[in-house]
Amino acid sequence: MFQSFEVKARPDQGPPRLAQIRNQMKAAGLDGFVIPRADAHQGEYVAARDARLAWLTGFTGSAGFCVALQEQAGMFIDGRYRTQIKAQVADVYTPVHWPEVSMADWLRAQLPNGGRVGFDPWLHTVEQIAQATKALAGSGVELIQSANLVDAIWEDQPAPPMAPAKIHPVEFAGETHEAKRARLARTLTEAGEKAAVITLPDSICWLLNIRGADIERNPVVHGFAILHADGVVDLFSEPSKYEGLETHLGSEVRLHTPSAFLDVLEALDGPVRIDASTVPQLVADALGNASVSGQEPCALPKACKNSAEIEGAAQAHLRDGAAIVEMLYWLDAQEAGTLTESEVVTQLESIRRRDNGLQDISFETIAGTGPNGAIMHYRVTTETDSVLEDGHLIVLDSGGQYLDGTTDITRTIAIGTPPLEAAQAFTRVLAGMIAMSRLRWPRGLAGAHIEAIGRMPLWLAGQDFDHGLGHGVGAYLSVHEGPQRLSKVSMVPLEAGMILSNEPGYYREGAFGIRLENLLVVQKAAAIPGGDAHREMLEWRTLAFAPIDRRLVVADMLEPAAREWLNAYHAQVAENIGPRVTPQAKEWLDKATAPI
């Protein structure tokens, strides 16, 4: 979804590259080597230089890893990519359903007599290595720190990204970086800690009110940081990126080259906080006994948006919604069989770029029609570009990076006359989306506690989908932001100010896909007239406004409260977006948002 094509391997390139890796393993005395989709910063997205998994295997998904052994090479992928991987990866790689099958279980089966499996300690977190080591205890399989074997054979590996950093204005940030540093430093002092290590690029950018372009579609700068208990930050990043930002950073942000990072860590007196889920193993090694485990200090403050960030997101969504409406109006005017997926992508991005506030799209647009719609993170290529035929559905998932906010919205649209079974599945997906949108819940609950609400209409029909119901979203930052999620495995309590997606779906391989997505922000629930307010409750405020395809709604399948919500939402869409679009698009919008 976010991977550059420049580093993608064709399936026919997989066997010789795997053979080279195996030669490197043999020379290093290793029986295996682990290749994750990760970089030294441990964010979700990687630059072209760090796209080792894609270069080696051809797999371009946003999560997964390969374990190469001399006789077997396992490709560990979750449910989102089990269709995609069939077309991308050569037969020399064996798909492994993960997390159902863990790396440790697979290694135990493949190396019953034990073995030495190498890993690059920059590319695996402390938590990952600890869990794998524990799971392999008694197996005879050892995890061995190693130089990166992919780098050793990747002759034309791209150079590190060198895009300049820029100031993120306080009018959009809502708080100066001096105030942020002081606020977070107090939490370290209260915990009796002298410093904290931060490796996630979006956290560093949020903390220092800077943005960059080191990751495609994500306005971040690569670097590492140490936040001290007095509010001073040591920033380890290429100094040339910060020319002209000296006044903004001030004297309490000390800039160093990245090569100095480990030496400074080794010299620190503890206790120094590290987040085992995000910090590379090599950082913990450098700190030794000085490290203590805790949550990365920026994680929750960044997730809980302030009023300026929330208002910015709301305004960005209004402008973005106008672009979506202009796109849907244009799409509806085209005859079935006359458009390709790539033409849809080009048109949508062209419309979005009419807004001068748009800095970039927030990820590669997904436009999958017919069977391609069943590939959850599909990206059109010259080989897969398909025509929008009568009876098709098209999943259109896209977003924008605006100075005042990040957007992410999905609509599924009927081309011509949709099949009844597709409309029925669509209505169940819509019912789940509405159920979550209407939800009120007691404060303290996490995504895992409420995620099933958005799945229940599908479950009642024996259907489901293999991705989370929603992810966190940044404020002109990464379109996927932790730690909050609407996920079966997320135990992070939802708090006011968190922005998340609400995106149930349904995917029938070889036939069609369905997904609907709005962004929502958590807020304190309004009082219920005459209600007994004995619990502090939270609710959602919907940020995204664009019509839902009424042609795909089987009205009789929706409960009265759901139909009422849909009609009220469409009235808001018409009111908020109508004045922002062309007269022709407004005329279309009025019809598209008519009550059902």
At the topology level of CATH, where does 304-584 sit?
Creatine Amidinohydrolase (3.90.230)
pLDDT tens readout for residues 440-489: 999 999 999 999 999 999 999 999 999 999 999 999 999 999 999 999 99
Q: What's the predicted TM-score (pTM) here? A: 0.93
At the topology level of CATH, where does 166-298 sit?
Creatine Amidinohydrolase; Chain A, domain 1 (3.40.350)
pLDDT exceeds 80 at position 11: no
Name the DSSP letter for residue 61: -
Q: Do residues 131 and 45 make contact, with C-beta atoms less than 8 angstroms apart?
A: no
pLDDT exceeds 60 at position 4: no
- Contact partners, residue 591, CB within 8 Å, separation at least 6: none
Q: How far apart are CA 489 and CA 260, in angstroms?
A: 37
Q: Do residues 237 and 224 make contact, with C-beta atoms less than 8 angstroms apart?
A: yes
**Closest by CA position to 398, among listed 390, 406, 389, 410:** 410
pLDDT tens readout for residues 67-81: 999 999 998 987 776
Residue 99 backbone phi and psi in degrees, to 5 = -90, 5
**Closest by CA position to 340, among listed 397, 392, 412, 418:** 392
pLDDT tens readout for residues 124-167: 999 999 999 999 999 999 999 999 999 999 999 999 999 999 99
Provide the edge-to-edge strand list for the sheet that holds 393-398: 366-369, 393-398, 409-414
What would the mean pLDDT of 201-221 be, rounded to a whole number? 97
- Contact partners, residue 383, CB within 8 Å, separation at least 6: none
Q: Do residues 215 and 161 make contact, with C-beta atoms less than 8 angstroms apart?
A: yes
Find out whether the peptide bond into 280 is cis, omega within 30 degrees of 0. Answer: no
CA angle 458, 463, 468 (to 5 degrees): 75
**Domains 166-298 and 304-584 fall in the same CATH topology:** no
Residue type, 278: T
Residue with tokens 């970086």: 177
Residue with tokens 């609907």: 516
Domain ranges of the chain: 5-153, 166-298, 304-584
Percent of the chain with pLDDT over 90: 89
pLDDT exceeds 60 at position 10: no
Query: Which residues in 333-348 are b (16+ Cβ under 10 Å) and which e?
Result: eeeeeebebbbbbebb
For all residues of the chain together, what is the average pLDDT?
Answer: 94
The token pair at 420 is 């009844």
- Contact partners, residue 90, CB within 8 Å, separation at least 6: 11, 12, 13, 14, 15, 57, 58
CATH 1.20.1250.20, applies to 5-153? no
